[in-house]
Structure 1
Amino acid sequence: MKKTAFITGTTSGIGREIAREFAKHNIRLILCGRRQERLDELQTELNSLTETHTLNFDVRNNEKVAAAVASLPENFQTIDILINNAGNAHGKDSIQNGSVDDWDAMIDINVKGLLYVSKAIIPQMVEQKSGHILNIGSSAGKEVYPNGNVYCASKHAVDALNQGMRMDLHAHGIRVGAINPGLVETEFSDVRFKGDTERAEKVYQGYQPLTPQDIAEIAYFIVSRPAHVNVADLMVMCTAQASNTILKKS
């Protein structure tokens, strides 16, 4: 039976690659993001592989999240898989020098956005007594690092929410799990350093980081397990990374 996946943050990085990987396996896709042009490009790319539908909204706006989900056409309304991928880091400052705007952005996207999307999708999963939620966390949700303060706190919240969701939803036959990547080469650092490309590029120099495709393949492995198997919490790092503060560079 063909499944439908709702994926947030598909306009770049890990979310886009998860969509591509799922399309290879004929999973119907609801592609979500804030940049309609990129959504259109991805939809055009994947339409030959599977059915797709795009939703343009910002996860930080609860009303728009709810309206977007309510607008889904009938053949996309039964959601089997939810990938909570949308997230960002803003700035890398000490706590005393941090920007309140950066703090708000990270908490609103990484924590509240995940909650808003989940709240919009979970009731129909409870009603159908099945579903699979995969939360994309971070190694920063397991181990704090210097100048990571609020970003790490937001990803620790994702870790806690992942555990809480699993406890609350297991009685309804809903699987809940998380992938917590270490260093993955995406637009992540460009966003964190606000367009300082030189600084962003240095993050990934001197070693082989993970790629978005690595995470996408893991995501498909998780959602394709038999119904009795739930990958509850998975940490993945590149070989050069031993922890958030230990990295072997050439």
Structure 2
Amino acid sequence: MSGIFSTSRLFNKTALITGASGGIGAATAILFARAGANVIVAARRKEQLSVVAEGCRKANKEGGTGQGGRVVEVVLDVADRRGVDGIFDKLPADFRKIDILVNNAGLVYGTDHVGDINETESDTMFNTNVMGMIHLTQIFVRHFKQNNAGHIIQLGSVAGREGYAGGSIYCATKHALHGFTVALMKELVNTPIRVTEVQPGMVETSFSVTRFRGDADKAKSVYKGIQPLVAEDVAEDIVWAASRKEHINVAEIFVLPVNQASPNIAYRSDQ
């Protein structure tokens, strides 16, 4: 890992990661801390945030940077606009200048086809994956413009590049995120603010357990016969993009397991 982050570019930078209580968000927070960044871990699950925060502190010590590595926990539901509006009030004064926003919070429910979709679940996906993301990003665009610096990193998906049966709502949310992100980068082209979208394919986390409404066996079957990405793989891409020189913007990273070519094309060893 040290070879990826061999410079001091992230030392004492402050990164806020949403959806940081587990999976890609937690792995990203820990890797930022290892690289010497200060980290704000934000998520709905308060009890899990403490575990992640401790992981960040441990990683910073192991990283041996000697700088940064401070951690703040913030209970935040990105779909709650009032809570999002008060984000800076929840932070200590010395954490209110943020350099990097990682919009990682997101979820998916079900594999239902159109006509059978649960509209409450559909609303939850859009409110979290799209509307919450947009609202938080607007706040941070203003913050970054005031500071004349900043980096917005979006967690997209292969589902934002290509639709697939049984994923219509999730694909729609990630297509929306992609379109928003491309437009945002163009709007900010006359500023030093960077915009990156990371688009992973199969990643084995608790994300699939949520999709199958708590059925861990069904979630596990998604990865049968293939070695998927894990949360740390995607975290490396996120933190690598953030650690580039300030004049470099990594606009898009599309990352797949070696045996996956699209949402529906994958080679499995049992085939």
Fold agreement, TM-score > 0.5 = yes
For residues 181-201 of structure 1, what are the alpha-carbon distances to aligned partners after superposition, in whole Å with 9 as ceiling and x for unaligned? 000000111000101111111
- Number of residues paired by the alignment? 250
List, as ranges, runs of 4+ consecutive aligned residues in structure 1 with deviation greater than 6 Å: none
Distance 2:112 2:79 in 1: 23
Q: Is the 8 A contact 1:60 1:109 kept in 2?
A: yes
Task: Map 1:41-60 onto structure 2 (within 5 A).
Answer: 41-48=51-58, 49=60, 50-60=69-79
Deviation at 1:47, TM superposition (A): 2.6
Task: Map 1:93-242 onto structure 2 (within 5 A).
Answer: 93-242=112-261
Distance 2:108 2:145 in 1: 32
Aligned partner of 2:94 in structure 1 is 75
Distance 1:30 1:121 in 2: 14
Aligned partner of 2:23 in structure 1 is 13
For residues 156-213 of structure 1, what are the alpha-carbon distances to aligned partners after superposition, in whole Å with 9 as ceiling and x for unaligned? 0010111111111222210001000000000111000101111111011111000111
Q: Is the 8 A contact 1:2 1:26 kept in 2?
A: yes
- What amino acid is aligned across from residue 15 of structure 2 in structure 1? A
Distance 1:69 1:152 in 2: 31
Q: Is the 8 A contact 1:90 1:105 kept in 2?
A: no
Q: Is the 8 A contact 1:180 1:234 kept in 2?
A: yes
Distance 2:34 2:237 in 1: 14
Deviation at 1:135, TM superposition (A): 0.2
Deviation at 1:128, TM superposition (A): 1.1
Unaligned 5+ runs, structure 1: none
Distance 2:12 2:121 in 1: 40
Distance 1:38 1:148 in 2: 28
Q: Does 1:34 align with 2:64?
A: no
